[in-house]
């Protein structure tokens, strides 16, 4: 791009001035990481400078709407001064110090971006969570992370209040709402009087920046920790070649603030390229609002889960004239070739699928300009060397199914998560020989394109959500009707796969009306854990298939669901 040759201004924390081209070189393993790096100071503030000198077009950095007539547009300069005020709120009245962990449970509101950048400026470790989290989920997160602060919106107050006495490390509750609440500091009030003077801390490139909770087959979600550079520099190529962004672009990435996809598409990849991040605060996803938004606003780039495209192609898309849309992306779950075709026929636009995961970001992608093979996730992306390996860590030839793995390098590579916090066993379990194993099975063809086969473990990928069966089974067992259950994936035409629970009933519930009991159990799970995990299918069974040692054979049930023998 035009920008890649331009030099970023020397900032206080770097030994030498860095350019966007230098960030690319780091991703291509042609140059090593700088000792210090801070996304706010070294990227955002540089774009703010470029705005002043006219080197960046007059395009907002953040453009937020809520469909009710409210709108926020911030330039990089405004984002800079507002996030400095937010940084002063976090360090002064909230009393937070560099390295402290902050749980941020906010919907898609501009303050999420402000708090995010304020954490970067102050060296606080940002832990995003979806507002679908229940009291039990929040308790686990606050205790496991020893979070010092929770930043939440009004709807989250009851859940936090019900568990806060069990969180001895929590010092501060910060409320983002026009209303005040006893025991909570008010972000808007403190923000109003906070100073806009703040010096960005000199964070080390490998200093922790964020923690994402991620589900596995067993146990509670693990804390995948990312560094300043893994997130802050690691998405340079992704922004340029997969998202195809320039500073004139406006990207709408639909992902909820709780997922790393929000960080990738609505913070790092986009702002590295100086593009405008568009946000629509839809309380509930709705296809009509979605399509109206694309016809109303000059959005050039769209990124959404395959489930959303599956919902959209049910509509008569030819009726809509999208204002400026030119590039469409998808990821988080496998995309069907038919949906890609339908989208193209109806809109004239290709759909560029990417594949990745919370721990390591984007692994494969159909990059702009590359031939798309419908149904494939594209080719491995730099800096990764993506291979298919067997159970002993040997590389398999094209056409052979195995586990999708990333070759380890002396720098791990740098854009990997640093560890699962306090869980060295699970961190070590991701390594097999010279490779990081993703837990996904796939095939590479002779042209180097990767094809997703399924999970190697029992994790369920539904509507782009990664759901651990154990979390759903733990919620179900709390209900008096459930003696035991097994939770597996089941095919679904819209959501790709959905959560299905096989339930053995306790004696008093054996004669219950199955439809009524199904609704009751679904409702129970929605209250016990984040609602997106609830079993959309429930089957009552007399017993569950088990091994001789009594372990439930989820694979037998799953294979049956998918019609496999
Ligand atoms: O479908 P139902 O109506 O039966 O249930 C929905 C909600 O109504 C319900 N719910 C939500 N809040 C509730 C509640 N029920 C009771 N009380 C509450 N407070 O729970 C269900 C939630 O399901 P959903 O979130 O799938 O809802 P929806 O509206 O169908 O949304 C569809 C999608 C496609 C917009 C949504 O599923 C979605 O956003 N999916 C994408 C997820 C994503 O971004 N994944 C990326 C992860 S990061 C990654 O993959 C790494 C890549 C590098």
CA of 210 to the centre of ligand 1 (A): 22
Question: If you take atom 22 of ligand 1, which residue's CA is the nearest one?
Answer: 532
Amino acid 283: pLDDT = 82
CB-based contact 102:112 (threshold 8 Å): no
Return averaged pLDDT per consecutive 10 residues of the chain, 565 residues in all. Answer: 34 60 94 95 95 94 96 98 98 97 98 98 98 97 98 98 98 97 98 97 97 92 97 96 97 97 97 98 93 98 97 94 97 94 96 97 95 96 96 97 96 94 97 96 97 94 96 97 97 97 98 98 98 98 94 95 86
pLDDT value at position 16? 55
Atom 6 of ligand 1, residue of closest alpha carbon: 532
- From residue 386, how far is each of 223, 363, 383, 389 by CA, in Å? 24, 7, 9, 10
State the virtual CA torsion across 32, 34, 39, 40 in degrees, nearest 10: -160
What pLDDT does 565 receive? 65
Contact present, 227 and 209 (Cβ < 8 Å): yes
Residue 450 CA to ligand 1 center (angstroms) comes to: 27
User: What is the distance between the alpha carbons of residues 152 and 136, in angstroms, rounded to a whole number?
Assistant: 16
Q: What is the pLDDT of residue 17?
A: 61
Q: Which atom of ligand 1 is nearest to the CA of 462?
A: 37
Residues 369 and 387: their CA atoms lie apart, in Å, by 23
Mutate to test the pocket of ligand 1, among 280, 526, 530, 535 (most ligand atoms within 8 A of CB): 526
Q: Is 438 in the pocket of ligand 1 (CB under 6 A)?
A: no
CA of 536, closest atom in ligand 1: 4
Compute, in angstroms, the gap from residue 532 CA to the centroid of ligand 1: 5
N- to C-terminal Cα distance for the chain? 51
State if residue 307 touches ligand 1 by the CB under 6 angstroms criterion: yes
Task: Give whole-number Cα distances, 149 to 185, 268, 288, in Å.
Answer: 11, 24, 37
Using CA positions, which residue lies closest to atom 44 of ligand 1?
255
Output the six-digit token pair for 299. 């959005």
Euclidean distance between CA atoms 441 and 451, whole angstroms: 9
d(CA 217, CA 491): 19
Does 132 sit in the ligand 1 pocket, CB within 6 Å? yes
- The DSSP secondary structure of 444-508, one letter per residue, reads E-TTSEEEEEEESSS-EEETTEEE-HHHHHHHHHTSTTEEEEEEEEEEETTTEEEEEEEEEEPGG
How far, in Å, is the centroid of ligand 1 from the Cα of 345? 27
DSSP letter, residue 395: B
User: Percent helix, strand, coil in the chain (nearest 5)?
Assistant: 35, 25, 40
pLDDT at 219: 87
Pocket test for ligand 1, best of 266, 284, 285, 355 (most atoms within 8 A of CB): 285
What is the ipTM metric for this complex?
A: 0.97
Q: In angstroms, what CA-CA distances link 147 with 258, 451, 562?
A: 16, 39, 41
The per-residue pLDDT for 246 is: 96
Which residue from 63, 152, 149 is spatially nearest to 110, judged by alpha carbons? 63
What is the spatial distance between Cα 369 and Cα 347, in angstroms, rounded to a whole number?
18
């Amino acid at each position: 791009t035009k920008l890649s040759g331009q030099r970023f201004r020397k900032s206080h924390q770097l030994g030498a001035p860095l350019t966007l081209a230098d960030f690319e070189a780091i991703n291509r393993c042609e140059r090593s990481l700088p000792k210090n790096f801070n996304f706010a100071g070294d990227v955002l503030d540089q774009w703010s400078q470029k705005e002043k000198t006219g080197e960046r077009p007059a395009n907002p950095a953040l453009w937020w709407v809520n469909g009710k007539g409210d709108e926020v547009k911030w330039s990089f300069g405004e984002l800079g001064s507002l996030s400095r005020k937010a940084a002063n709120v976090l360090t002064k009245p909230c009393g937070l110090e560099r390295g402290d962990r902050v749980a941020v449970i906010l919907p898609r509101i501009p303050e999420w971006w402000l708090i995010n950048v304020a954490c970067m400026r102050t060296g606080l470790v940002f832990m995003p969570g979806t507002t679908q989290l229940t009291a039990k989920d929040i308790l686990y997160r606050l205790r496991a992370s020893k979070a010092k602060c929770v930043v939440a919106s009004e709807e989250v107050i009851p859940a936090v209040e019900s568990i806060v006495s069990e969180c001895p490390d929590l010092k501060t509750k910060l409320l983002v709402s026009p209303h005040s609440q006893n025991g909570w500091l008010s972000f808007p009030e403190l923000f109003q009087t906070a100073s806009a003077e703040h010096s960005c801390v000199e964070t080390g490139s490998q200093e922790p920046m964020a923690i994402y909770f991620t589900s596995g087959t067993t146990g509670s979600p693990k804390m995948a920790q990312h560094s300043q550079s893994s997130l802050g520099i690691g998405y340079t190529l992704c922004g340029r070649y997969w998202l195809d962004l320039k500073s004139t672009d406006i990207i709408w990435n639909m992902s909820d603030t709780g997922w790393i996809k929000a960080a990738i598409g609505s913070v790092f990849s986009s702002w590295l390229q100086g593009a405008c991040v568009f946000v629509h605060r839809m309380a509930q996803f709705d296809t009509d609002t979605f399509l109206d938004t694309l016809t109303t606003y000059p959005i050039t780039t769209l990124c959404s889960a395959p489930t959303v495209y599956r919902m959209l192609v049910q509509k008569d898309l030819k009726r809509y004239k999208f204002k400026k849309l030119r590039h469409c992306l998808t990821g988080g779950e496998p995309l069907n070739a038919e949906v890609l075709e339908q989208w193209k026929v109806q809109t004239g636009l290709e759909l560029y699928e990417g594949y990745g995961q919370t721990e390591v970001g984007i692994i494969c992608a159909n990059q702009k300009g590359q031939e798309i093979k419908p149904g494939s996730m594209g080719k491995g992306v730099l800096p990764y060397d993506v291979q298919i390996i067997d159970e002993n860590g040997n590389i398999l030839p094209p056409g052979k199914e195995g586990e999708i793995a990333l070759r380890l390098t002396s720098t791990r590579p740098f854009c990997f998560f640093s560890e699962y916090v306090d869980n060295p066993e699970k961190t070590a379990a991701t390594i097999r020989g010279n490779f990081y194993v993703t837990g996904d099975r796939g095939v590479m063809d002779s042209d180097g394109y990767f094809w997703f086969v399924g999970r190697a473990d029992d994790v369920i990928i539904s509507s782009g959500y990664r759901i651990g069966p154990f979390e759903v089974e733990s919620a179900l067992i709390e209900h008096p009707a459930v003696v035991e259950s097994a939770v597996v994936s089941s095919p679904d035409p819209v959501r790709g796969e959905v959560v299905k629970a096989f339930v053995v009933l306790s004696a008093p519930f054996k004669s219950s009306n199955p439809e009524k009991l199904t609704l009751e159990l679904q409702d129970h799970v929605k209250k016990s854990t984040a609602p997106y995990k609830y079993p959309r299918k429930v089957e009552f069974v007399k017993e569950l298939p088990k091994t001789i040692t009594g372990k439930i054979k989820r694979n037998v049930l799953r294979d049956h669901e998918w019609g496999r023998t």
